[in-house]
């Protein structure tokens, strides 16, 4: 099965090479847990002939995102605008949220992306007028994303007790949770994944808080944790 | 991606106006297929089910039929077999484009090519061009294009 690298060797180790291609994964966690850095590092790790389509909603203004993005070592400024395309769907989700699938179809036709990132996807759900509308939008989004050869990431400031309540978690193929842990080595993040798309289940890594290198991981921690049942660490790492 | 027909390369201009009949019921796939194929210079018609596909293929005589296996009334493999057994349609190229891993079954049904979904526009368009190459070349030699 084709894999999409995260751009982080330790996260790839946990995910058995990366995310399953063509899947829809939710990257969740509280503000400051490193979701956006994680997704941007993933985007820059997958530069190629077909672009990464990075869709902003109502989380952070695009100029702010781009300003801080350039502080990271993994950022290739030359790729921005061509291999990584930023588009805002804020107008659609605020004025006619039910038309988001239509807008996505237009963007897929225009850019033909290999990877699609929604940041923040939770903001999209928050702006839906009611649950039936949100379920219909989710169904159509999933149908479009399944029809086309792309791998999708829904980034959101979700917390654990939202998982059984929010319909997007039933639609997604996999879930990655980043959590802050200020009790060890300063601020750390833990990644837990579960999925129906063949990624590792219930595992963890311990990167530092985001620094200039992106999500930096501690290999010793990763190796120790990867010996847990259900893990399949690479032998060459 | 796998296709079973001979590939000899073909340029975009040579495929202009070739008619493609697409047998597909998923509205999102239909929308994307129409856009990408028309953008590549083809003319596209749709059939919503297998029976309609056979009827339209006989009447319209498309250069190629692209069919999903999972279509109503008469599945895509039966469409393929029917077209390949009929003197009026056996010359029509059939490309199976399916969510199912069914390359062997497609070949056994007489398909000229097989692609697995999800839809990749580059792979689809290039496959169609290569499959159409012999027809385009022949029609060009007769001044049809």
Answer yes or no: is pLDDT of A218 > 90.
no
- What does the pLDDT read at residue B5? 35
Indicate yes or no: CB of A148 within 8 angstroms of CB of B26: no
Is B38 an 8 Å CB contact of chain A?
Answer: no
**Minimal CA separation from A2 to chain B, in Å:** 13
**Minimal CA separation from A98 to chain B, in Å:** 16
Q: What is the mean pLDDT of residues A40-67?
A: 88
Quote the tokens at residue A108: 């897929």
- What does the pLDDT read at residue A16? 86
More confident residue, B90 or A67: B90
- What does the pLDDT read at residue A14? 82
Cα B20 from Cα B5, distance rounded (Å): 17
Is B119 an 8 Å CB contact of chain A?
Answer: yes
A221 — pLDDT class (breaks 50, 70, 90): very low
Residues of B in Cβ contact (< 8 Å) with A4: none
- What does the pLDDT read at residue A50? 95
ipTM: 0.77
Answer yes or no: is pLDDT of A200 > 50.
no
**Tens of pLDDT along B86-142?**
999 999 999 999 999 999 999 999 999 999 999 999 999 999 999 998 776 776 676
**Tens of pLDDT along B35-57?**
999 999 999 999 999 999 999 99
Measured at the CA of A16, the angle between CA A12 and CA A22, to 5 degrees, comes to 90
Number of inter-chain CB pairs under 8 A, A vs B: 34
A185 — pLDDT class (breaks 50, 70, 90): low
Q: What is the mean pLDDT of residues A212-224?
A: 42
Sign of CA dihedral A137, A138, A140, A145: positive
Q: Which of A48-57, A83-92, B78-87 has the highest mean pLDDT?
A: B78-87
Indicate yes or no: CB of A112 within 8 angstroms of CB of B31: no
The reply to whether the predicted model has a pTM over 0.90 is no
- What does the pLDDT read at residue A237? 30
Burial of A108 (0-12, 13-18, 19+ CB in 10 A): buried
The neighbouring-strand residues paired with A191 are A178
Q: Determine contact, residues A53/A85, Cβ cutoff 8 Å.
A: yes
Least confident window among A65-74, A123-132, B118-127: A65-74
- What does the pLDDT read at residue A13? 86
More confident residue, A122 or A68: A122
Give the chain A residue whose CA is nearest to the CA of B119: A148
More confident residue, A205 or A231: A205
Q: Determine contact, residues B115/B36, Cβ cutoff 8 Å.
A: no
Q: What is the mean pLDDT of residues A131-143?
A: 96
Q: What is the mean pLDDT of residues B18-33?
A: 96
More confident residue, A94 or A204: A94
- What does the pLDDT read at residue A188? 54
A37 — pLDDT class (breaks 50, 70, 90): confident
Q: What residues of chain A, 38 to 57, have a C-beta less than 8 Å from chain B?
A: 50
């Amino acid at each position: 099965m084709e894999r999409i690298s995260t751009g982080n060797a330790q996260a790839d180790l946990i995910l058995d090479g990366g995310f399953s291609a063509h899947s829809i994964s939710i990257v969740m966690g509280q503000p400051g847990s490193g979701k956006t850095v994680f997704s941007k590092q993933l985007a820059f790790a997958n530069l190629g002939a077909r672009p990464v389509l990075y869709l902003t909603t109502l989380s952070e203004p695009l100029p702010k995102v781009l300003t801080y993005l350039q502080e990271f070592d993994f950022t290739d400024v030359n790729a921005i605008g061509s291999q990584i395309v930023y588009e805002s769907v804020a107008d659609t989700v605020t004025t006619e949220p039910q038309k988001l699938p239509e807008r996505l179809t237009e963007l897929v036709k225009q850019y033909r992306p290999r990877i699609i990132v929604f940041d923040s996807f939770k903001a999209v759900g928050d702006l839906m007028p009611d649950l039936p509308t949100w379920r219909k939008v989710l169904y159509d989004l999933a149908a479009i994303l399944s029809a086309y050869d792309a791998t999708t990431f829904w980034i959101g400031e979700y917390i654990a007790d939202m998982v059984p309540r929010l319909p997007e978690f039933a639609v997604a193929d996999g879930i990655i949770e980043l959590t802050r842990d200020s009790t060890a080595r300063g601020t750390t993040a833990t990644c837990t994944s579960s999925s129906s798309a063949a990624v590792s289940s219930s595992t963890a890594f311990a990167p530092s808080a985001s620094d200039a290198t992106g999500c930096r991981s501690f290999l010793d921690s990763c190796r120790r944790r990867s010996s847990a049942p259900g893990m399949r660490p690479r032998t060459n790492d | 991606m796998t296709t079973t027909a001979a590939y000899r390369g073909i340029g975009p201009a040579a495929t202009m106006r070739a008619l493609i009949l697409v047998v597909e019921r998923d509205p999102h796939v239909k929308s994307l297929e129409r856009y990408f194929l028309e953008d590549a210079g083809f003319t596209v018609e749709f059939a919503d089910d297998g029976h309609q596909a056979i009827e339209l293929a006989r009447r319209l005589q498309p250069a190629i039929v692209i069919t999903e296996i999972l279509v109503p009334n008469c599945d895509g493999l039966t469409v393929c077999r029917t077209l390949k057994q009929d003197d009026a349609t056996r010359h029509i190229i059939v490309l199976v484009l399916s969510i199912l891993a069914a390359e062997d079954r497609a070949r056994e049904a007489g398909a000229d090519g097989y692609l697995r979904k999800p839809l990749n526009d580059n792979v689809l368009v290039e496959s169609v061009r290569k499959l159409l190459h012999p027809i385009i070349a022949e029609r060009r030699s007769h001044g049809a294009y």
